[in-house]
Structure 1
Amino acid sequence: MKQITIERAAPGDVPRLQRIGRETFAETFAASNTEENMRKYLEEGFSAAKLTGELENSHCEFYFALLDQQVIGYLKLNTGSAQTEIKDNKSLEIERIYVLQAFLGKKVGQLLYDKALQVAKDKGLEYLWLGVWEENRRAIRFYEKNGFVAFDKHIFRLGNEEQTDIMMKKMLSGNLKM
């Protein structure tokens, strides 16, 4: 396989971000949710206005995984007030790591996770955290393999349905900013 590169998304990347976001979310969750709930989430969660606002927010960062300039996955990170729950200035939220199904098992998710870890270390943060759907066993195993432990649960709304996410955390020992 050719070299996969990780590149930060810019405000002009909304169309690419919409495409990869909608495609990977649908691949991952369409079989487990109603068509109506999926359509509503994909329209709202990946609207041009929403993504533009997030790309312009200094507390949000998006990264693409690229293979021959084709986007095959992406990462969304939040700090400070952009975090969905904890909003701790000492933490980094991994809101999304999504990879096209055709590239699952090819270390793309690991490269994106490694980028998140590097961003957290570069910022001198104390820990990473995330929420992962309790039914997404593959993702849970991935995060456990990378040192995350469950610490709480929260509700994720997809259309008119409430789903439970397991909240997981990884401490970055020895990375305290002085």
Structure 2
Amino acid sequence: MTKDYIILGTVFNHMEHIIITAATAENISTIQQIGKETFHETFSESNTKEDMQKYLDENFSEQKVKSELNNSESMFFIAWDESLPVGYLKLNIGAAQTEDQGHAALEIERIYVKSTHHGKKVGQMLYEQALVTANQLKKNTLWLGVWEENSRAIRFYEKNGFVAFDRHIFKMGDDEQTDIMMRKTLSSAI
């Protein structure tokens, strides 16, 4: 069994060398690429082609991603395998939250990882970056919404101590879907 070591945002193990960096305005196309690719990989089989295309066009346009990257209450982090972007994390505080959970809350809006890197701890590293950010910002709650049919993601969040507390509607193209809202209360010693 190998042991992973996290050193300043880098995980080293026998197979991987993953680095997490804060995204900047220069990473717009990288965020678009990862977002479109991972969203399509995860959800295309469960949605119509038209709804999928509408969602991708609206949510990963250059203008939309640029606006999100420039929002001071949103933070993006990219996971890199060497020079290849393999995932990203989007966090929100304050008014940028998709639903207001108060000023003590940090929303994990997205943890997206390419399917080629599933099972390689990239999602866990991005989640741990969310914990570090919550600690730095002195937030006491992490929360998120996850599609009720995304059992892989639900298990991941449950494994990391999240519990369901509500539901909300997520619009996928013209289709209304139900997200389970989950949260984790953080201790002062994150």
TM-score by length of 2: 0.91
Name the residue aligned to 2:65.
51
Name the residue aligned to 1:141.
155
Match of 1:76 among 82, 90, 95: 90
CA distance in 2, matches of 1:138, 1:14: 27
Q: Helix, strand or coil for the counterpart of 2:17?
A: coil
Give, as a single letter, the amino acid of the residue that structure 1 aligns with 2:44: A
Map 1:91-130 to 2 at 5 A.
91-130=105-144
Residue pair 1:153, 1:165 contacting (<8 A) in 2 also:
yes
Deviating beyond 3 angstroms after TM superposition, the runs of 4 or more aligned structure 1 residues are: none
Match of 2:168 among 143, 154, 168: 154
CA distance in 2, matches of 1:159, 1:175: 41
Give, as a single letter, the amino acid of the residue that structure 1 aligns with 2:67: G
Match of 2:49 among 35, 44, 47: 35
Tell me, which stretches of 5 or more residues in structure 2 are unaligned? 1-14
Q: Give the Å deviation of 1:87.
A: 4.3
Report sequence identity in percent.
56
Name the residue aligned to 1:64.
78
Residue pair 1:125, 1:175 contacting (<8 A) in 2 also:
no
Tell me, which stretches of 5 or more residues in structure 1 are unaligned? none
Give, as a single letter, the amino acid of the residue that structure 2 aligns with 1:125: K
1:99-157: CA deviation from partner (whole Å, max 9, x where unpaired): 00111011000000000011001111110000000000000000000000000000000
Name the residue aligned to 1:168.
182
CA distance in 2, matches of 1:161, 1:54: 24
Count of residues in correspondence between the two structures: 176
CA distance in 2, matches of 1:99, 1:93: 18
Q: Helix, strand or coil for the counterpart of 1:4?
A: strand
Q: Helix, strand or coil for the counterpart of 2:57?
A: helix
TM-score by length of 1: 0.97
Give, as a single letter, the amino acid of the residue that structure 2 aligns with 1:135: E
1:30-64: CA deviation from partner (whole Å, max 9, x where unpaired): 00000000000000000100110110110001111
CA distance in 2, matches of 1:2, 1:39: 33
1:56-87: CA deviation from partner (whole Å, max 9, x where unpaired): 11000111110011100110000000000024
